[in-house]
Structure 1
Amino acid sequence: MTHALSDQTVLVTGAGRGLGAAIARAFAKEGARVAINYRRSAESAAALAQELGPRAAAFQGDVTDPAQVAEMVEHITERFGAPDILVHNALSDYSFNGDARSTLDRLAWSQMNDQARTAVGGALNCIQALLPHFTKQRHGRVVTIGTNLLQNPVVPYHDYTAAKAALLAFTRTAAKELGPMGVTVNMVSGGLLRTTDASAATPDAVFDMIAAQTPLGKVTTPEDMADAVLFFASPWARAVTGQNLVVDGGLVCD
């Protein structure tokens, strides 16, 4: 069985806008059935679903709430069949603005916890909701979204980066537990993306500085990231699990 993307259903969390929307478009282009999860971006999620056509639909749900995730998966299953692929992209509200970030003297544990609840807690809730399907079909793909700030914290976004580091650890431990049932779990880590809602506050000078330091001479786009996600979800990555692929034009090495 090849498990072609065109035969599968993918759930993309936080897909109403930004990187998540780019990932949803990439899967739709490959013919997959696409479940667009959103928390508050109802209008943009609905517009994206309409753009992608009848094999896509928007589904509301806060990934930090296990009950909402379970209900969302039920609705997706009724519409498209149970998700075979999970892309956990959802991000707690954040703005990549170095001047406005919380420095250590002002950082509160509640900020750290808020980021972790979405990054790690959201991944846990979604995987648990999909486990019965994964177990039954002995196949599945999970792709989490990380950051190259782990390797190069050029701007110390403490709460965001710590949460993504924890998500990487969870990605690897989940890969170990889910591997025997044919489920792979991998992470795609981007650099600063040009441009998403979260990076909209980043000054152009910062984008230009990063481009100048990057071997490819340009800043990574959401579409660049989406293509890497497709690889991990595809049959081509069937023997790859527990890995973190940094997609930033060669700026850092994992």
Structure 2
Amino acid sequence: MTPDLDTAIVTGASKGIGAAIARRLSHDGFQVVVNYGKDEAAALALVRSLEDQGGKAIAIQGDVAETATHERLFEAAEKAFGPVGVLVNNAGTMRNAAIAEASDEDFDRQCAVNLGGVFRAMRLASSRLADGGRIISISSSVVGLYQPHYGLYAATKAAVEAMTRVLAKELGPRGIRVNAIAPGPVETDFFLAGKPAELVETIRKSNPLGRLGTPEDIAATIAFLAGPDGDWMNGQVLRANGGII
């Protein structure tokens, strides 16, 4: 990491995987812009904790489905810290349903956030990110597993993987690396919501490593791609899932 690449934007960073990513990047020396959608208290608490540990961070509210949010994130980052070197597209939503039972609202919202949010961030980053920077998006290992009830979610994440590979070729001449991470089941409120304990235990036992992932597992993979050890990684999707596929 060089001084002109030490500012990172993390979307959906107030809790769960996003918060773990923000903590890890701050620990590694990045100045972090913590984007949040609704939970201002959690975002501000995270910023305070990063500052208490000697880091620099700010919290910026915004729905990633809106173009104005991404413009506001880059403007705030540049004003507070300077050029943005790393963009982590973490914000997402999941509404599980069989395709035959999924509503237009289910489709529209997941497309707007999971795909539209990443597209809008990538589009702006293409002109605002510093040369040599990093764009890292969160996909999912449901792309490849193709489980029932995950049709819409998997479709949006498959599209993110496609855009990742294309943008890597488009921005490669500027030294910008574009990659994605596809986590398997991670023990967060986002994953656990609505799942009976018996189902969670079945999922845990189905993993070759015998456990669910942790937010820190994913943050460590992000740190690899964001840092100097990830220099030769471009246009890749890393399936950080303990070997489920």
Task: Give the equivalent residue in structure 1 for 2:178.
Answer: 185
Gapped runs of 5+ residues in structure 2?
none
Contact map agreement 2:4 2:83 (CA 8 A) in 1: no
Among 221, 235, 240, the residue aligned to 1:228:
221
CA separation of 1:5/1:214 partners in 2, compared to 1, >3 Å: closer, same or farther? Answer: farther
Task: Give the equivalent residue in structure 2 for 1:81.
Answer: 82
Q: TM-score, normalised by structure 2?
A: 0.92
Compute the displacement of 1:189 (Å).
0.7
In 1, the alpha carbon distance for the partners of 2:168 and 2:234 equals 6
Among 98, 105, 113, the residue aligned to 1:118:
113
Task: Give the equivalent residue in structure 2 for 1:71.
Answer: 72
Task: Give the equivalent residue in structure 2 for 1:98.
Answer: none
Equivalences for 1:22-171 in 2 at 5 Å?
Answer: 22-53=20-51, 54-92=55-93, 94=94, 101-134=96-129, 137-171=130-164
In 2, the alpha carbon distance for the partners of 1:130 and 1:103 equals 35
Q: Deviations over 1:107-127 (max 9, x none)?
A: 134422321221222122222
Compute the displacement of 1:130 (Å).
2.7
Secondary structure at the residue paired with 1:151?
A: helix
Find out whether 1:17 has 2:12 as its counterpart: no
In 2, the alpha carbon distance for the partners of 1:219 and 1:198 equals 10
Compute the displacement of 1:143 (Å).
0.5
Compute the displacement of 1:237 (Å).
1.2
Compute the displacement of 1:158 (Å).
1.7
State the one-letter code of the partner of 1:199.
L
In 2, the alpha carbon distance for the partners of 1:189 and 1:141 equals 17
Task: Give the equivalent residue in structure 1 for 2:200.
Answer: 207
The sequence identity of aligned pairs, in percent, is 33
Compute the displacement of 1:222 (Å).
1.0
Gapped runs of 5+ residues in structure 1?
96-100
In 2, the alpha carbon distance for the partners of 1:49 and 1:125 equals 25
CA separation of 1:6/1:199 partners in 2, compared to 1, >3 Å: closer, same or farther? Answer: farther
Taking only aligned residues, the RMSD between alpha carbons, in angstroms, comes to 1.9
Contact map agreement 1:211 1:219 (CA 8 A) in 2: yes
Residues matched between the structures, number: 242
Q: TM-score, normalised by structure 1?
A: 0.89
- Structure 1 residue runs of 4+, over 6 Å off? none
